[in-house]
Amino acid sequence: MSLVRHNSPARIPGLHIPTDVDRSICALSFLIPANYPVYFTLDAFNPSNPCLLQAVTHAEPNRRHRLFAIFDKGVLKAQPHLSRNLTAYVNHHTRHMELTAPPHIVPGGERSKNDQSLPARLQKRLYQLNMDRQSIMLIVGGGAVLDMAGYAAATTHRGVRVIRLPTTVLSQGDGGLGVKNGINAFGVKNFLGTFAAPFAIVNDGQFIDTLPARHRISGMAEAVKVALIRDGDFFVWLEANASALSSFDPPALSHLIRHSAEIHLRHIATSGDPFESGSARPLDFGHWAAHKLETLSGYRLHHGEAVAIGMAIDSRYSTEVGLLSEQACGRILDLLDWLQLPSWHRILDLKGPDGRLKILRGLAEFKEHIGGELTITLLKRIGQGTEVSEIDDTVIHRALSWLKKRHASRCVSR
- pLDDT tens, position by position, 247-259: 999 999 999 999 9
Q: What is the mean pLDDT of residues 376-386?
A: 94
DSSP three-state, residue 180: strand
Q: Would you say residue 8 lies in a domain?
A: no
Q: What is the mean pLDDT of residues 174-191?
A: 87
Q: In what helix (H) or strand (E) does residue 402 lie, and over which residues does it extend? A: helix 393-413
Q: Which of 76, 64, 135, 63 is nearest to 103 (CA)?
A: 76
Instruction: Check residue 34 and give its pLDDT.
Output: 80
How would you classify residue 155: left for phi > 0, otherwise alpha for psi between -120 and 50, otherwise beta?
Answer: alpha
CA distance 237 to 246: 14
**For the chain, percent helix, then strand, then coil, each to nearest 5?**
50, 15, 35
Domain that holds residue 93: 38-210
Q: Which of 197, 217, 201, 204 is nearest to 79 (CA)?
A: 204
Q: Would you say residue 46 lies in a domain?
A: yes
**Maximum distance among all alpha carbons in the chain?**
84
pLDDT by residue (tens digit) across 32-66?
Answer: 778 899 999 999 999 999 999 999 999 999 999 99
Q: Which of 233, 167, 242, 159 is nearest to 194 (CA)?
A: 159
CA distance 176 to 162: 12
Asked whether the predicted pLDDT for residue 278 surpasses 70, the reply is no
Residue 319, CA distances (Å) to 84, 136, 312, 329, 356 in order: 53, 48, 11, 7, 23
Same-domain check for residues 298 and 203? no
Same-domain check for residues 159 and 283? no
CA pseudo-torsion sign 381, 382, 383, 385: positive
Instruction: Check residue 21 and give its pLDDT.
Output: 53
CA distance 281 to 382: 18
Q: Would you say residue 100 lies in a domain?
A: yes
Q: Would you say residue 7 lies in a domain?
A: no
DSSP three-state, residue 89: helix
Q: What is the mean pLDDT of residues 302-328?
A: 96
Model confidence band, residue 368 (pLDDT cutoffs 50, 70, 90): low
Same-domain check for residues 202 and 218? no
Same-domain check for residues 217 and 195? no
Q: What is the pTM of this model?
A: 0.85
Residue pair 313/289 in contact (Cβ under 8 Å)? The answer is yes
DSSP three-state, residue 252: helix
Q: Which of 26, 23, 29, 42 is nearest to 2 (CA)?
A: 29
Write the DSSP symbol of residue 342: -
Residue 403, CA distances (Å) to 85, 125, 327, 399, 409 in order: 48, 48, 15, 6, 10
Write the DSSP symbol of residue 171: I
Same-domain check for residues 252 and 219? yes
Same-domain check for residues 59 and 200? yes
Same-domain check for residues 195 and 344? no
Per DSSP, helices labelled H in 36-116 are 51-57, 73-78, 82-92, 111-114
Q: Would you say residue 332 lies in a domain?
A: yes
Same-domain check for residues 296 and 402? yes
Same-domain check for residues 94 and 174? yes
Q: Would you say residue 48 lies in a domain?
A: yes
Same-domain check for residues 288 and 197? no
Model confidence band, residue 9 (pLDDT cutoffs 50, 70, 90): very low
Residue pair 226/219 in contact (Cβ under 8 Å)? The answer is no
Q: What is the three-state SS of 348-377?
A: HHCECCCCCEHHHHHHHHHHHHHCCCCCEE
Instruction: Check residue 372 and give its pLDDT.
Output: 60
Instruction: Check residue 293 and give its pLDDT.
Output: 94
Question: How do 188-195 and 25-29 pair as beta strands?
Answer: unpaired
Asked whether the predicted pLDDT for residue 397 surpasses 60, the reply is yes
Asked whether the predicted pLDDT for residue 342 surpasses 70, the reply is yes
What's the CATH number where 301 sits? 1.20.1090.10
Beta partners for 194? 181
pLDDT by residue (tens digit) across 70-88?
Answer: 999 999 999 999 999 999 9
Instruction: Check residue 254 and give its pLDDT.
Output: 95
Model confidence band, residue 389 (pLDDT cutoffs 50, 70, 90): confident
CA distance 358 to 351: 5
Q: Would you say residue 6 lies in a domain?
A: no
Asked whether the predicted pLDDT for residue 3 surpasses 50, the reply is no
What's the CATH number where 47 sits? 3.40.50.1970
What are the residues whose beta carbons fall under 8 Å from the beta carbon of 48, sequence distance 6 or more? Answer: none
Q: Would you say residue 248 lies in a domain?
A: yes
Q: What is the mean pLDDT of residues 365-379?
A: 74
Q: In what helix (H) or strand (E) does residue 332 lie, and over which residues does it extend? A: helix 326-338
Total count of domains within the chain: 2
Instruction: Check residue 7 and give its pLDDT.
Output: 43
Same-domain check for residues 333 and 399? yes
Same-domain check for residues 136 and 196? yes
Instruction: Check residue 369 and give its pLDDT.
Output: 59
pLDDT by residue (tens digit) across 124-134?
Answer: 999 999 999 99
